[in-house]
Structure 1
Amino acid sequence: MLKALDIMTKDVGTIRSSATIAEAVKLMQAHNWRALIVERRHPQDAYGIITDSDIVSQVIAYGQDPGKIRVYEIMTKPCIVVNPDLGVEYVARLFANHHLLQAPVIQGELIGIISATDIIEKSKFVELPRTIALEQELKDAIKKSREICASTSPLSAECAAAWDMVDELQAEIAHQEARRIEKTAFEEFCEEFPEAVRKHELDEWCSG
């Protein structure tokens, strides 16, 4: 699964909250940036963000002097941040739910910025939609689980762990497709091997 870390832009600009909008615009123009991350005043402070759309809608649209307006007057702080390990589809969902176009990627400190453009241009959702990738991953996991159970035992801890992974994949696919699972792959396996019992769920395995 592609993560935010894989598609984020490391070339990220920062600016002081006390800087003028004119300074912000010059910095954005010089580097072709569409957003700047507002620096924290201290390690416990939250990050902020100022975007080109903020400048257009709050400064230019009202004929205000960009040399007199400060970044802190129109920035968003605290801003929504992205964990670098977050899957791209979840980043997209976060952007959709909060109407975002850019967000800083934070792991203790600022390590990059991710944008809607990054999601579209750098992810592989057109060539390989997430559900298709998951379906293939599920097929591989089911095959591997059966091989593990055959080489050990349907009662082994290795067998149980392998089917746990299958369960997680099926649940993720069902969530992505907004549907209910009628019968899991493990339940089908249990029909073939009724003796398969997870030691930590003795009363629940294959109970039907």
Structure 2
Amino acid sequence: MHGLTHPEAVTLGPDATAWELADAMDAHGVGSIVIVDAARAPVGIVTDRDLVRRVVARGLDESKVRASEIMSRDLVTGDPHETSGELLERMRARGVRRIALVDDGRIAGVASFDDVLTGLATVLWNAADAVRVELRETARKTATRRRAEAREELVEDFRSYVSELESSARTRIEHDVRGFFDWLGGRRD
């Protein structure tokens, strides 16, 4: 999952206020905060959508609502070494857009749906570029090989033609020489 996760998950404790959560999201440019206990083990997640639906839409005081009151406790987790495909399948199956990556019981990062898709798009684009380069090189080598084969075929055809000309010329010369000697022989009489 290298390059497809936020370098480090932004984390806060369960006592953080909704205001602190929103401020941290804004400061770090993320859409979620992983809520961790004292040992940095993930216990929940709060997304920007959670803040809107569970705090703002209800008209609650952002400075009094705690993360523990609005976090999703059914945190979907994954291993930092899982493939993008495995993470996407888990997101689809669980209906989430973010997975907390946990290594040895501690939060190691967050994989978002957008991050994974962007990473996959980059991988696919790079693969397509590599295929294009390989196809061009193969076409170049094929064209070079075909030109060499055509050249050899032309040389062989030319040799064959010259050989036929030599044979034809030799036959014609022999015929002409015999005819000349026959003519000379006929004049002696």
- The residue number in structure 2 matching 1:65 is 61
Structure 1 gaps, min length 5: 130-208
Paired with 1:86 and 1:126, the residues of 2 have a C-alpha distance of: 18
In the alignment, is residue 23 of structure 1 matched against residue 20 of structure 2?
Answer: yes
- The residue number in structure 1 matching 2:50 is 54
In the alignment, is residue 114 of structure 1 matched against residue 107 of structure 2?
Answer: no
Moved segments of 4+, more than 3 Å? 124-129
Q: Deviations over 1:142-173 (max 9, x none)?
A: xxxxxxxxxxxxxxxxxxxxxxxxxxxxxxxx
Q: Pick from 15, 30, 33: which aligns with 1:36?
A: 33
Percent identity at matched positions? 21
Q: CA deviation at 1:39?
A: 1.2
- TM-score, normalized by length of structure 2? 0.60
Structure 2 gaps, min length 5: 128-189
- The residue number in structure 2 matching 1:96 is 92
- The residue number in structure 2 matching 1:77 is 73
Paired with 1:90 and 1:8, the residues of 2 have a C-alpha distance of: 14
Return closer, same or farther for 1:78/1:42 CA change in 2, 3 Å cut-off: farther
- TM-score, normalized by length of structure 1? 0.55
Q: CA deviation at 1:105?
A: 0.9
Q: Pick from 98, 119, 123: which aligns with 2:120?
A: 123
Tell me the secondary structure at the aligned position of residue 78 of structure 2. coil
Structure having the larger proportion of residues in helix: 2
Q: CA deviation at 1:5?
A: 3.7
Q: CA deviation at 1:60?
A: 0.9
- The higher radius of gyration belongs to 2
- The residue number in structure 2 matching 1:200 is none
Paired with 2:64 and 2:4, the residues of 1 have a C-alpha distance of: 36
- The residue number in structure 2 matching 1:160 is none
Alignment RMSD: 2.1
Paired with 2:39 and 2:103, the residues of 1 have a C-alpha distance of: 16
Q: Is the 8 A contact 2:13 2:36 kept in 1?
A: yes
Q: Which amino acid aligns with 1:93?
A: E
Q: CA deviation at 1:11?
A: 3.3
Q: Which amino acid aligns with 2:116?
A: I
Paired with 1:9 and 1:77, the residues of 2 have a C-alpha distance of: 21
